[in-house]
Amino acid sequence: MDKRKLLKKLKKQNKIIKSEPKYIERLKNYQKIYADFPEIKFLVNNIIEANRLIKQNELPQDLPPLILNDDIQDHIFEYVNSKYAQGDPEGDRLWNKLSDNLPKLDKDLRSFRDYLETEYGMWAYISAPFIHDISKYVNNKKGLEIMAGNGYISKGLRNLNQDIIATDSMEWVNENETGKHLLTNVEKIDALSAIEKYKNDIDYIIMCWSPDGIEIDVDILNKIRSIDRDIDFIVIGEKNGATNSKKFWKMADLIENKQTESLNKHHKPFDLIHDKLYLVK
């Protein structure tokens, strides 16, 4: 292929990419396409409302599982048949429109977490009800958040008049959106240094979504265990999954009781990630 043809092909590809609707615009389009399907509108509306709140630097509400019902295609078929006689070209066109968009809709529903990571640097989905539960648990004790990222947890707790120090090394700022959309004041300091600096002033430490496979979490756990006073360690992550190192999950003494069950009441999985809040010793 000569250079002119290659350039023409690249320009055409760029034009296609630029003309594709953005994630939220696609969802708003699904609202119109599936206006007569409450089960679909419910899922789409939840995402659009969550995005609206996060965009305004507010914490969103809980999400339902963002998964289409297995029988959704049957519902669509029944709906089309109720409006058009069999063989009616209008019915065929409607069926094609509704069924052809289903795989795209399904993919976009499952991609909400990816969108949050890319757009806002929000890795763990932190909802307002979840933060209310954590606030009740810490009960006006002084806390330290390490690896705070953009500060969603600390912002939520501060809004509820909790005293918490937010810290992050900001090492990822050149690789993704972490640290670029700060919701609250976050001190630039690495986790181990932050613990050393504030260990005599705090009652608990929160660590949310420590990077997968990196054993800094092991060093943090050992650091906390070496302190000669009790400090509660609150960890949010997916055990042996998308967060933390395997060594950490082997070493961590996880407390799972009615208290942790209550703390996870408003932190339920909405996709394939099953992260939880753990109390760690």
Mean pLDDT to the nearest integer, 37-49: 98
* Percentage, residues of the chain above pLDDT 70: 89
Same structural domain, 136 and 269: yes
Q: Based on the domain organization, do 203 and 254 belong to the same domain?
A: yes
What CATH number is given to the structural domain containing 209? 3.40.50.150
Q: Are residues 87 and 193 in the same domain?
A: no
Task: Summarize pLDDT for 107-156 with one digit per residue, the tens.
Answer: 999 999 999 999 999 999 999 999 999 999 999 999 999 999 999 999 99
Co-location of 104 and 134 in the same domain: no
Based on the fold, state whether residues 178 and 228 are members of the same structural domain: yes
Q: CB-based contacts of 30: which residues, under 8 Å, 6+ apart? A: 40, 44, 101, 105, 108
Contacts of 19 (CB under 8 A, 6+ apart): none
C-alpha–C-alpha distance, residues 106 and 23, integer Å:
13
More confident residue, 202 or 8: 202
Span 243-255, mean pLDDT?
97
Does 160 share its domain with 251? yes
Average pLDDT score, the chain: 91
pLDDT band with cut points at 50, 70 and 90 for residue 173: low
> What is the pLDDT, as a whole number, of residue 171?
81
Confidence at 176, pLDDT banded by 50, 70, 90: low
Q: Are residues 82 and 220 in the same domain?
A: no
Q: How many domains does the chain have?
A: 2
Residue 32, domain extent:
3-120
| Residues β-bridged to residue 167 | 187
41 and 112 in one domain?
A: yes
What is the mean predicted confidence (pLDDT) over 163-181? 78
Pair (151, 254) in one structural domain = yes
Last residue of a domain, one of 120, 137, 172: 120
Query: Do 181 and 96 share a structural domain?
Result: no
Domain termination residue (choose one: 98, 120, 142) = 120
Residue 63 has pLDDT above 90, yes or no: yes
Same domain, 139 and 241: yes
| pLDDT over 70 (residue 31) | yes
| The pLDDT value given to residue 230 | 96
Q: How many residues in the chain? A: 281
Tens digits of per-residue pLDDT, 85-100? 988 999 999 999 999 9
Residues 167 and 273 in one domain: yes
Which of 156, 258, 149, 142 lies closest to 207 in space, CA to CA? 149
* Domain stop point among 120, 150, 176: 120
**What average pLDDT score do residues 10-39 get?**
76
Is the pLDDT at 196 greater than 90? The verdict is yes
